[in-house]
Amino acid sequence: MKLRGSASALVVVEGTDLHHDLIGAALALQEIVSEAGLSTARAVGLDRFTDPMPATAEADVYVLYRSSTVFDPRQQQALADLVASGKGLVALHASNLFGFGEGGLDADRTAYELIGSRYLSHGDSGSEGRFDVRIRSDHPVTRHPVTRHLDDFAIDDEYYVLEYAEDVTVLADRERPDGYTEPLVYVREHGVGRVCYSALGHDPRAWGNPGFRQLVRQAALWAAGLDDVDTVESWSTRWPLGNGRTIGDRT
C-alpha cells in the first residue's frame, strides 16, 4: 500500500456569522484530511470556484465548511458544475444553511440540490449536547466506504434537524428524545461527482473526536474516488487522535 500522492484536497471555509470558528475549522480539517494521505491545502471564500486558480482546479475533492445565509448564485453554479464534472465534495455542518436569506430557498436552489439538504433548526433538544452517532448497516463488510471501518461513537456537538432530498443514502443517524431518527451523514451523486454531507463538526470538541476524524478522512477518500478497501482502512484508521496520538493500548 502506498500514499496516493496524485490525489489532493482543498479545505474551503466561508462565512459571516459569529457562531463558527472558520480559522479553527480550516486548520483542523486540513490536518484531518492530510492524515488520510491526501495532499491538502486550505482556502477562504467561494469566488475561487467561479474562476478556478490551479489549487482549486486541480483538487480532487473540496471539503467545505461554510457558515453564512448568503451564497451567490454564480458561486453555487460554479461549484455544482465542478462536482458534476467529477470533483468530490464533503460538506460539513452549517454548509447547508439554505433559504434564510433574501429570495428564500429559491435563491439557494442550486446549492440545495447539490448538497441535498438544508438546516431547519436545532429542534427541541437545545442547541448542543452529547449524543450517540449510530452507523447504519450491521455488518462492516457491507457498509459504504464512508462508514465501513467505523463503529457507533458518542460526540459533543450541535443538534441539527434537516430537510433532505429523496435521493440521499443515509449512512449514520441519531435518535432524538422523541424517538425520531435524525439523519447525520449521507451520500449522493451529482453528475459524475460524489457528495458526502455530515451535520457534525461544530467546534473543537467535535474536530478532536476520533470518530468524527475517521469519518471525515473516509469521506474525503471516497469523494476523491479512492474507495478501495485497503486505501480506506489504511489511511482512515491510523491516526485516531491526530498527530500520531492513539487511544489506550492502540499503537
What are the tens digits of pLDDT across the range 43-53?
A: 999 999 998 89
Eight-state DSSP code of residue 236: H
CB 61 within 8 A of CB 217: no
Confidence at residue 138, expressed as pLDDT on a 0 to 100 scale: 62
What are the tens digits of pLDDT across the range 185-212?
A: 999 999 999 999 999 999 999 999 999 9
The vertex-136 CA angle with 132 and 139, nearest 5°, equals: 120
Confidence at residue 246, expressed as pLDDT on a 0 to 100 scale: 46
DSSP 60-90: SEEEEEEE-S---HHHHHHHHHHHHTT-EEE
Q: For the chain, give the mean pLDDT.
A: 90
Angle between helices 229-237 and 210-223 in degrees, nearest 10: 150
Eight-state DSSP code of residue 100: S
Residue 84: is its pLDDT beyond 60?
yes
Confidence at residue 139, expressed as pLDDT on a 0 to 100 scale: 62
Confidence at residue 133, expressed as pLDDT on a 0 to 100 scale: 97
Length of the chain: 251
Confidence at residue 219, expressed as pLDDT on a 0 to 100 scale: 97
CB 88 within 8 A of CB 224: yes
Confidence at residue 228, expressed as pLDDT on a 0 to 100 scale: 82
Q: Is 239 exposed, middle or buried (0-12, 13-18, 19+ CB in 10 A)?
A: buried
**Of all residues in the chain, what percent carry a pLDDT higher than 90?**
75
As beta bridge partners, residue 158 has 128
User: What fold characterizes domain 8-237?
Assistant: Rossmann fold (3.40.50)
Confidence at residue 249, expressed as pLDDT on a 0 to 100 scale: 42
- Nearest-CA neighbor of 185 among 82, 176, 195? 195
* In the chain, where the domains are located: 8-237
Q: How far is CA 129 from the centre of its chain?
A: 20
What are the tens digits of pLDDT across the range 111-156?
A: 999 999 999 999 887 788 999 999 997 666 678 999 998 999 999 9
Residue type, 1: M
State mean pLDDT over 97-104: 94
